[in-house]
Amino acid sequence: MSATRPQAASMYTDLEREAWHDLRAATPLTLTAEEIERLRGLGEQLNLDEVVEVYLPLSRLLNLHVSATQGLFAAQQAFLGGMNQKVPFVIGIAGSVAVGKSTTARILQALLARWPDHPRVELVTTDGFLFPNRVLAERGLMTRKGFPESYDRRALVRFLAELKAGRAEVSAPLYSHRDYDIVPDGAQIIRRPDILILEGLNVLQTGPAAGGKVPQAFLSDFFDFSIYVDAHESDIRRWYVDRFLHLWRTAFRDEGSFFRRFADLTEAQAIARAETVWSEINGPNLAQNIAPTRSRARLVLVKGPDHRVRRVRLRKL
């Protein structure tokens, strides 16, 4: 008689969509169908059901975490005799290009801002912390845009450190997808929000910086909660190509767009170009830098081929 092999221990509680939906409890839907449509990203099948069944339970969970953190802050403030300055609750959202993390961030920002205890919710993307194209070109990194070395990680850490230090006002640089570059002198001013959502490809990374040196602080050191938006690589690749084609038919036609040179491609050529970009840039970045950070997230949203979240993995406390 053979012994039964024990199952490997998991750091996560796995919940199928239906079980996750039940955790919504009585959380009210505070967004209209029109608002959801405006928040939806290119190619995504985000609808009312997705918000109700996936994002309402998530907003309830996040609200519980924010409330618990506020309670801990009050206790520590009492211990210190009221010397502590209240700081924002920071949520990091990571995932591949085209996986839908930007939509997740926008939906959560809208839902969390409707909770009475934390109406001020800011969203910052790490795109603004990319080095300007001029710098990337000088360093031979234009084809590595989106890789960890293409970001000013020191500025990113400084931004979060100042935010968590209770600074009355901090600023983040702005990025133009139309120009494919940093906006000169552009800035997003953040003034002590209740919650800040930081969304980007590599926000959970802990690898060495340029030169092989390990940073003294990582972005995730400043997170109170982290989310990874996950899907099978073949699905993400298809979503990326579909998005590229949509932009080829629309935004690339803009005479001032950085991508105007792609507008004259045939559809077959546009598909081939998108496949090349994925194979040479986005795919390797996902495999080498982004996907390995998935296990560091507090919660993982696992999507199916239709962009709908099929399963949720929540890290055990």
Quote the pLDDT of residue 126: 97
> Which of 92, 30, 19, 33 has the alpha carbon at shortest distance from 56?
30
> Which of 238, 227, 202 has the alpha carbon at shortest distance from 98?
238
Quote the pLDDT of residue 1: 43
Quote the pLDDT of residue 207: 67
Question: What are the structural domains, with CATH classification, of the chain?
Answer: 12-315 (3.40.50.300)
pTM of this prediction exceeds 0.85: yes
Cα 173 to its chain centre, rounded Å, is 17
Rg (CA), the chain: 21
Q: What is the pLDDT of residues 278-291, one digit of tens each?
A: 999 999 999 999 99
Residues forming a β-bridge with 94: 228
The one-letter amino acid code at 157 reads V
Do strands 181-190 and 170-176 pair parallel, antiparallel, or not at all (unpaired)? antiparallel
Quickly count helices (H) and strands (E) in the chain: 10, 9
Q: Are the CB atoms for 299 and 58 separated by under 8 Å?
A: yes
- pLDDT, mean of residues 61-74: 93
**Confidence tier at 209 by pLDDT (50, 70, 90):** low
Better pLDDT: 100 or 10: 100
| Structure token digits, residue 16 | 């199928």
- pLDDT, mean of residues 217-241: 96
> Which of 266, 253, 236, 270 has the alpha carbon at shortest distance from 98?
236
- Distance (Å, whole) CA 20 – CA 229: 16
Is the per-residue pLDDT at 5 higher than 80?
A: no
Cα 90 to its chain centre, rounded Å, is 12
**Confidence tier at 309 by pLDDT (50, 70, 90):** very high
Q: What is the pLDDT of residues 12-66, one digit of tens each?
A: 999 999 999 999 988 888 888 888 888 887 666 788 899 999 999 999 999 999 9
Q: What is the pLDDT of residues 247-273, one digit of tens each?
A: 999 999 999 999 999 999 999 999 999
Quote the pLDDT of residue 167: 93
Quote the pLDDT of residue 39: 87
Q: Are the CB atoms for 27 and 115 separated by under 8 Å?
A: no
Measure Cα distances from 3 to 115, 121, 132, 220 in Å: 52, 53, 60, 42
Quote the pLDDT of residue 2: 46
Cα 37 to its chain centre, rounded Å, is 19
- The span from the first CA to the last CA of the chain, in angstroms, equals 37
Determine the 3-state secondary structure of 313 from DSSP.
strand
Give the number of other CB atoms < 10 A from CB of residue 65: 14
| Structure token digits, residue 141 | 């990194």
- pLDDT, mean of residues 90-97: 98
Give the number of other CB atoms < 10 A from CB of residue 46: 21
